[in-house]
Structure 1
Amino acid sequence: MPTDPPATDAAPADRSAPDSTAGQVSDSQTLHRAVKDLRDGFAQRELWLSLGWQDIKQRYRRSVLGPFWITIATGVQAAAIGVLYSALLNIPLTEFLPYVTVGLIVWNLIQASILEGAEVFIANEGLIKQLPSALSVHVYRLVWRQLLFFAHNMVIYVVLVLAFGVWRHLGWSSLLAVPAIALLVLNAMWVALVFGIFATRYRDIAPILGSMTLMLFVLTPVMWTTKSLSAQGGEVADRVRLAELNPTFHYLDIVRAPLIGEPQQAYHWYIVLAITGLGWILALVALRQYRARVPYWV
Structure 2
Amino acid sequence: MAVQDKTTEQLRADVARMTTVTDAAEVPKSSSQTLKASMRDLTYGFSQHELWLQLGWQDIKQRYRRSTLGPLWITIATGVMAAALGLLYSLLFQIDWREFLPHVTVGFIVWGFISGCVKEGSTIFIDNEGLIKQLPSALSVHVYRVVWRQLLFFAHNLVIWLILVFVLDIPLNWESLLAIPALLLLVLNGVWVAMFFGIVATRFRDVAPLLDALIQLAFYVTPIVWTTHTLEQQGGEVAEQARIVEINPLFHYLEIVRAPMLGNHVEFYHWAIVLGCTVVGLGLTLLAMRQWRFRVSYWV
CA distance in 1, matches of 2:142, 2:31: 22
CA distance in 1, matches of 2:271, 2:167: 30
CA distance in 2, matches of 1:245, 1:120: 29
2:136 maps to 1:132? yes
Give 1:91's aligned residue.
Answer: 95
Read off the aligned partner of 2:146 and give its amino acid letter.
L
Give 1:76's aligned residue.
Answer: 80
Give 1:170's aligned residue.
Answer: 172
1:252 Cα deviation from its structure 2 partner: 0.3
1:28 Cα deviation from its structure 2 partner: 3.0
Read off the aligned partner of 1:141 and give its amino acid letter.
R
1:90 Cα deviation from its structure 2 partner: 1.2
Coordinate RMSD, CA, aligned: 0.8
Identify the structure with the greater helix proportion.
2
Give 2:112's aligned residue.
Answer: 108
1:210 Cα deviation from its structure 2 partner: 0.9
CA distance in 2, matches of 1:240, 1:215: 17
Give the alignment's TM-score, normalised by structure 1. 0.90
1:32 Cα deviation from its structure 2 partner: 1.4
Read off the aligned partner of 1:208 and give its amino acid letter.
L
Read off the aligned partner of 1:123 and give its amino acid letter.
D
Give 2:12's aligned residue.
Answer: none
CA distance in 2, matches of 1:236, 1:120: 41
CA distance in 2, matches of 1:239, 1:205: 30
8 Å CA contact retained: 1:60, 1:66: yes
Secondary structure at the counterpart of residue 51 of structure 1: helix
Read off the aligned partner of 2:206 and give its amino acid letter.
D
CA distance in 1, matches of 2:31, 2:145: 26
Secondary structure at the counterpart of residue 154 of structure 1: helix
1:27 Cα deviation from its structure 2 partner: 3.8
Encode CA deviations 1:15-49: one digit per residue, 9 max, x unaligned.
Answer: xxxxxxxxxxx843111111110111011111101
Q: Which runs of 5+ in 1 are unaligned?
A: 1-25
CA distance in 2, matches of 1:127, 1:28: 23
Read off the aligned partner of 1:108 and give its amino acid letter.
G
CA distance in 2, matches of 1:28, 1:200: 21
Secondary structure at the counterpart of residue 205 of structure 2: coil
CA distance in 1, matches of 2:31, 2:138: 15
Shift >4 Å, 4+ stretches: none
Give 1:204's aligned residue.
Answer: 206
Read off the aligned partner of 1:102 and give its amino acid letter.
V
1:232 Cα deviation from its structure 2 partner: 0.3
Secondary structure at the counterpart of residue 187 of structure 1: helix
2:247 maps to 1:245? yes
| % identity of equivalent residues | 62
CA distance in 2, matches of 1:211, 1:61: 29
8 Å CA contact retained: 2:175, 2:264: no
1:165 Cα deviation from its structure 2 partner: 0.7
Read off the aligned partner of 1:207 and give its amino acid letter.
P
Structure with max Cα Rg = 1
Encode CA deviations 1:63-101: one digit per residue, 9 max, x unaligned.
Answer: 111111010000000010111111111111111111100
Alignment of 1:179-190 (within 5 A): 179-190=181-192
1:263 Cα deviation from its structure 2 partner: 2.1
